[in-house]
Amino acid sequence: MGTTRRRSPRRLLGVLAATATAFTLFAAAPTAGAADTTGTATATTRSADTAARTLSTSTPVVFVHGYTGNASNWVTAMSVFRASGWSSSNLFAYEYNSYGNNITNAQGLATYVNTVKARTGASKVAIVNHSMGGLVSQYYLKVLGGNTSVSHLASIAGANHGTTYAGACLIYTTCQQMYPGSSFISQISAGDETPGDTKYATWYSACDGIIIPYTSTRLDGATNNNVVCQTHIGYLTDTVVLGQIARFVAS
């Protein structure tokens, strides 16, 4: 009988280990290539997403207060917009004479928007208004042709079709213009209420108490958001609604 040579257990384990290593390297090579491709695609997607976010929050925003209001009305709103990605240098508050004439106020808004565009280098701005600021904004966009300079318009409890509450201050021209059926209201509501390529949205509530009827805020052709219950002044510190508006302007 011949003698059969037996490999030592140590040598046999070494051969098996070498074979397993070779198999692992061979199988892993394509996988590594796929991982690299996926990583590049993911990085590209993230880069595109970042660019989109930067672009959407780079639009300057002009806030337009209501009757007897001022820039301080927008402290919370600006905070919400900054938290949503806006730079403070792109947030502006237009102030006007609440007791003057809304035609003059709209003309002042036109000048202010041009100043903001020149300062920021932007071709368009977004406008966020409250209460009587809706009249000022609508006159600017519709009658003065400002829609070509406005990407988004958000009207918060805007007196867009007037409010009977203005009957309490009819000694002022602005309140006369804000009363339902005024020639001013007729001018901004006749025909297309949402002209141009501007995106329009409104927020209104049955709990408003100042805009009467509360549906006066709605604009034909706009995205009209019925808030379950919010007071006229309460909107100015309502971070939920203001967050919705920031997302709308970023869209």
Q: Are 105 and 96 in contact (CB under 8 A)?
A: yes
Instruction: Please state the length of the chain.
Output: 251
d(CA 208, CA 238): 13
Q: Which amino acid is at 66?
A: G
Known active-site residue 232:
yes
Question: Which is the catalytic residue, given 98, 131, 155, 205?
Answer: 131
Q: Mind giving me the DSSP string for 229-243? A: S--TTGGGG-HHHHH
Known active-site residue 130:
no
CA-atom Rg of the chain in angstroms: 30
Q: Which residue reads 């009467």 in tokens?
A: 212
Question: Which is the catalytic residue, given 130, 149, 205, 208?
Answer: 208
Q: Which residues pair with 156 in a beta bridge?
A: 130, 203
The bridge status of strand 125-130 relative to strand 91-94 is: unpaired
Q: Which residues pair with 224 in a beta bridge?
A: 202
Residues with active-site annotation: 131, 208, 232
